Structure formats: C-alpha cells, structure tokens
Chains A and B, each alone.
Chain A
Amino acid sequence: MVSGSSRLALFYSVCFPLLAVAMLAGVGIGSTEMGWQTILRVAGTKLLPSGWIDSTGLTQADVVIVWMIRVPRVLVGASVGAGLACAGAVMQGLFRNPLAEPGLAGAGTGAVLGAVVAFVTGWSVYSVASLPAAAMAGALLALSVVYAMATRGGVTPVATLLLAGIATGALLSAVSSLLLSLNIANWQIAQEMIFWMMGGLEARTWTHVWLSAPFVALGLCAAVVQARDLDLMQQGEETAASLGVNVEGSKRVLMVTAAVLTGAAVAVAGSVGFVGLVVPHAVRLVLGPANRSLIPASAVAGAIFLILCDLVARSIHPPIEIRLGVVTAFVGGPIFILLLMRRYREAGAA
C-alpha cells in the first residue's frame, strides 16, 4: 500500500506534466497548427523581458493566433475546469452526498440566469465585473434554495437533492428562456444568451481570463482553508458539531465558496455540466476522500479535463465546433448513470 504523501507526490508528478502537455496541445492544435517551439517562443517574448527571446522568424499571425486567440481560450478552459471541479468537491461535502455537482444541484443554472440578467439589463456594459458577480449571486441563490428544500435535520438524501436540483434548475432555466424569448429580436443579445445556456469557450479573450481566474483562485484558497471542516461535515452535522465545528457558520462559508467557484466558471463559459461530478470522483479513487488533498488535486485535474474536452469539441469535426457542454455531458452522463446504479445496487444489498 502506497502511503498518502507519496501517492500525492505521484499524482502531481503525473498531473503537472499532463497539464503542460494539454495546454501546449490546446494552443497548438487548430485550423492553423502551431509547433511547440513557436508557442514557447511567443509565450517567451510576451512573458520575459524583451531581448531575452529571439523573436526573429515569428510572424504577426503567429503572435495573434497563439497569444490573442488560443492562449486565452486554454487559460479560460483551465480556470473553468478548475473552478467547476473544485465547486463539485465542495458541494459533495456540503451536501454529504457524492453525487452533488454544480449542474445537478441547480447552481449552474442559477449562475447562467445571473449572467443572462446582467446581460439583458445592460449591467455587463457598465462594468464587465458585473457578469461574474451576477453569476455568483445566481449560483448562491439557487444553492440556498436547493439546500433549504432538500436538507432535513442535516441530512440530504440523494433523491431529494436531485429532485430539488432539477426543480430549481427547471424553474431558473425557464426564467432564462423567458428573457431569451423577450430579447430574441436583438440578435446579439440572443446569441450571447444561447452561448451561456449551452456552454462553450469560443472567442474567449484575456478579459475573460481576468474575469474568471482570480475568483477561481480565491474560491480554491477558501476551499482549502475549510478542507478539514468539510471532512467533518461529511461525517454528519451532529458529529461535526460535537467535534467543535461551527456548523451553521461553516455551511454558509462553504455555500458562498461553492457559489463563487461556480459563478466564476459559468460567467465565462456558460453552463458546462458534469465536470464537478466526474473530476472529484476520479481524484478520490486515487487520493482518497480527505479534502485537504482532494480539493487542490481536483482543481488541477479539472483544468486538464476541460482543456482536453475543449480540444475534442473543436477538432472532432472541423470547422464546426461541437458545444463544450455536449462533450462534457457525453463523458459525464454515462459516469453519472453508472454511479447512480452502483449506489442503488449497494443500497439494495445493504
């Protein structure tokens, strides 16, 4: 049996190179192929003091494609993947339910509605930061409603969680659709709204990186700080309280954390499902359930997962891009069904 810390070392020694490769592939592969030397040289000229990297031979087109188009897209993908995976891990602990996930628990839909409202009302024109702020507020609203509906006496059964998530999600997405119908005449608004409701990473810019990554980083730090409380919450609220956790306070902070992570992801990529389910599950199989290692590891694995899904989405049938949410659903849907079936089999056997 491999000990915990060496397993963690092994995990990162595989995942960090994998993340680098995924990023290089994400930037390199596309309608115009970019060699890794070109990518590294462009990145070098942008990041290092001028003169350190010899830029002769780099065309303006290389710089634009790499630095203005593909790098932001990959970074947004990494941020969204990390945010959703981490939000999933937090929500699974919060609901004491391994099947909780931003999409399934309504938080994703709430965040989409928030973003749509910010767009329709024109707040997003006044300040770009209103977009993630509105998405986070929407996610928090949805999470609070689902939590209040599905949790009785500190216990959240799978069935009620899923039903409350579906009901809340349906209601909130109906509101989004209503706003969309009312604004369908305005082509630009309608297009933006469809983007959020279906999810994707096309035309992401550095602005989107800055709208998402800092909040994901913030949420990740908050989640790591609360990791041990989350471990105890997973044992049940009474146990957590008896061991000295301030349960009510902890729940509020965790809910805000999950909402910040979900909102920061949805504001720039729209609704992308199942990342928060698949990634923490996979990581748990390798590292075990302790949140101190699970949460940061899920962030790294989530970044890799989403960059690769986006790569699949745009290279499987060029020049048409498949929606990112479709790809993650094709991966996540069957896994979700599998987990659900296993759960009921176990429940039946017990």
Chain B
Amino acid sequence: MLDAANISVQRGPRTILHSASIQIAPGVFNAIVGPNGSGKSTLLRALAGIWPVSAGSVTLEGELIGRVARKKVAQKVAYVPQETGLDFAFTVAETVAMGRYPHRGRFAPESAADRQAVESALMQCDALQLKDRTVNTLSGGERQRALIARSLAVEPRFILLDEPTANLDVQHAMEVLELCRRLAEAGHGVAVATHDLNAAARYADRVALVDSGTIARYGPREEVLTADTVRAVFGVNMEAVESAGGHAVYVFHRIGGPQDTVSRLPSR
C-alpha cells in the first residue's frame, strides 16, 4: 500500500496541497481528476516521494517514504512526469533500460534480469518494434508507450502517471488507459492524473477529485463523479448518458451556456 495521510505540501511560501489523503492499493486503478493547477501533479510527486510533505505522512508499505533510501523507493514506485527531456537521441531500448537504474550498481553491467525486465516492459507496452528508434522521432502515442515501458522496467509495485493522455488522439489515449487498466489487473497499484472525466469513469476503480489543493472527494467512481460534485469543482453541469455498450458517458454543459446539444444530433 502507498498511503498518503493528511498530507500538505509547501513550495516556497505557498501551501499547494492541504491535508490530502489517498491510498494507492495493489490491483486498484485510481484516477486523479481536477481543474488545471488544482494540485494533481503535486499529489503524485508527494506520493512518489520526490517532493517532501510539510504535514501528514506518506508511507510506502508501512514505512515513512522520506526515511526510505531514494533507490529503494525508486524500486517500488515508478513515476512518469509530464515533462520529459527528449533533446538527446537515446533509443527506446536505452530509455527503457534506464528504468533498471535503481536496481543496478554504479558500474554493474546489464544483468540477465535487467535484460528480461526491459524486454517484458517493451512487450507489455507493445513497443518492441520501436526498440531501435530514437525517442525524438516517436509520435506522441509511441513516446508515451516508451515512457510507460521505462516505468515498467523498474518492476514497481506502484505506478504513478501524470497526464499520460495529454496530447494524445482518442485511439492512443484509449490504448494507454487500457494498458493502465491491465497493469492494475495484474496487481500494480496505479494512479493516473487526467483531465478526462469520461476516461476516469470508464477505466478507474476509484476517483480522487482534487480542487484548489484539497481532495474534495475520494471513493468509488460512481460515488465521486456525480452531477453535484462536478458542478461544485469544475463549474459545469454534467449529464450522464448511457452508451449502447452500457457504460456511462458524461456530457458537460457550461452553466448558463447553450443547452444540451446531444439531443440535436441526428439519430441513425
């Protein structure tokens, strides 16, 4: 369990997260949703142990994360930030192999276990054929797959992804989210920050709704993503429509804006 209990995070004079609590349990897909600047990334950084908390505690399998050696944390918690340096033309294979850093000694050559972890990470992300490409030549979707593969090469228990579907088209975004779903089903604890409420509703088990530096609601998706909470946090009206496949699709209306456009779509 990766457990944040009442954590606050301070950067400079500003407290950007106030007493937030979230539990990343093995086998559970958590979506972290919220408006821009609400504190989603901060929450992930604190969970990854990269940013220190000013109050509360983050515990990794019962131990305070700040007391655990950086490399030991890195062996268990993988984090894929939004910013990535792609100015240097590393190949996908080299990039993914960087995920083995926390397991390798400074001068240790690549072991059989390292090679196997990299191979299996590439396979899970359907990125084997990208192995010899350099990262600066990849499309957005391919790049995201390579970065997720790097986090899998760590062989972590917990995977934290910051906006992995930003800048992706629908198909690639769905591929990435389905991959996250599979990872959760395979027993990883997964947390994904996203803007996409529909994606959260469709793929996540639990949803944390972050608003102005606090977690406004956290729980099973159907309890969190209600018309009332969405209106309170995002300032829009939300309407749930059932798709032909039987899952909920949310349609949003700006409060006071032009009303329901869905009903005007021609039916086939």
A residues engaging B (CB < 8 A)? 1, 96-98, 154-155, 225, 228, 231-232, 234-236, 238-239, 241-246, 284, 288-290
Separation of A1 and B93 alpha carbons in the complex (Å): 14
Residues of A within 8 A of B228 (CB): none
Contacts A1-B132, A244-B102; A238 near B77 (Cβ below 8 A)? no
Separation of A228 and B71 alpha carbons in the complex (Å): 14
Give the residues from 30 to 83 in chain B that come closer than 8 angstroms, CB to CB, to chain A. 45, 48, 50, 70-71, 73-75, 77-81, 83
| Residue B91 lies at the interface, judged by CB distance under 8 Å to chain A | yes
Which single member of A97, A155, A284 contacts B89 (CB below 8 Å)? A284
A150 CB → nearest B CB, Å: 15
3 A-B pairs with least C-beta separation: A244-B74, A244-B102, A242-B79
| B98 lies within 8 A of A238 (CB) | no
The 22 sampled A-B contact pairs (Cβ below 8 Å) are A96-B85, A96-B87, A98-B88, A154-B83, A155-B83, A228-B104, A231-B98, A232-B101, A234-B88, A239-B79, A239-B80, A239-B85, A243-B98, A243-B99, A243-B101, A244-B70, A244-B75, A244-B102, A245-B70, A246-B70, A289-B88, A290-B90
Separation of A284 and B106 alpha carbons in the complex (Å): 22
What would 17 more interface pairs be, CB under 8 Å, given A236-B85, A242-B48? Answer: A228-B106, A231-B90, A232-B98, A234-B88, A236-B84, A238-B45, A238-B50, A238-B81, A241-B50, A242-B74, A243-B74, A243-B99, A244-B74, A244-B75, A244-B102, A289-B90, A290-B94
Residues of B within 8 A of A228 (CB): 101, 104, 106
| Residue B154 lies at the interface, judged by CB distance under 8 Å to chain A | yes
| A235 lies within 8 A of B78 (CB) | no
Which single member of A234, A245, A284, A288 contacts B101 (CB below 8 Å)? A245
Contacts A243-B99, A288-B94; A235 near B70 (Cβ below 8 A)? no
Separation of A239 and B106 alpha carbons in the complex (Å): 18
Separation of A98 and B45 alpha carbons in the complex (Å): 27
Residues of A within 8 A of B85 (CB): 96, 234-236, 239
Contacts A228-B101, A236-B84; A242 near B77 (Cβ below 8 A)? yes
Residues of B within 8 A of A154 (CB): 83
Give the interface SS of chain A, mostly helix, strand, loop or mixed.
Answer: loop
The proximity string for B residues 164-185 relative to A, scoring 1 for CB distances below 8 Å and 0 otherwise, is 0000000000000000000000
B6 CB → nearest A CB, Å: 23
Separation of A244 and B153 alpha carbons in the complex (Å): 14
Residues of A within 8 A of B98 (CB): 231-232, 235, 243
B98 CB → nearest A CB, Å: 6
Separation of A290 and B88 alpha carbons in the complex (Å): 9
Q: Which chain A residue lies CB-closest to B48? A: A242
| B81 lies within 8 A of A288 (CB) | no
Separation of A96 and B90 alpha carbons in the complex (Å): 13
Separation of A98 and B85 alpha carbons in the complex (Å): 11
Separation of A106 and B238 alpha carbons in the complex (Å): 55
Residues of B within 8 A of A239 (CB): 79-81, 83-85
Contacts A236-B81, A238-B50, A289-B88; A244 near B71 (Cβ below 8 A)? yes
**Interface-central residue, B81, B88, B91, B101, by most chain A CB under 10 Å:** B88
Separation of A98 and B88 alpha carbons in the complex (Å): 7
Residues of A within 8 A of B70 (CB): 241, 244-246
Residues of A within 8 A of B91 (CB): 288
| A288 lies within 8 A of B90 (CB) | yes
The proximity string for B residues 93-128 relative to A, scoring 1 for CB distances below 8 Å and 0 otherwise, is 011001101101010000000000000000000000
Residues of A within 8 A of B78 (CB): 242
| B84 lies within 8 A of A288 (CB) | no
Residues of B within 8 A of A238 (CB): 45, 50, 79, 81, 83
**Interface-central residue, A1, A234, A242, by most chain B CB under 10 Å:** A242
Residues of B within 8 A of A288 (CB): 89-91, 94
Q: Which chain A residue lies CB-closest to B81? A: A238
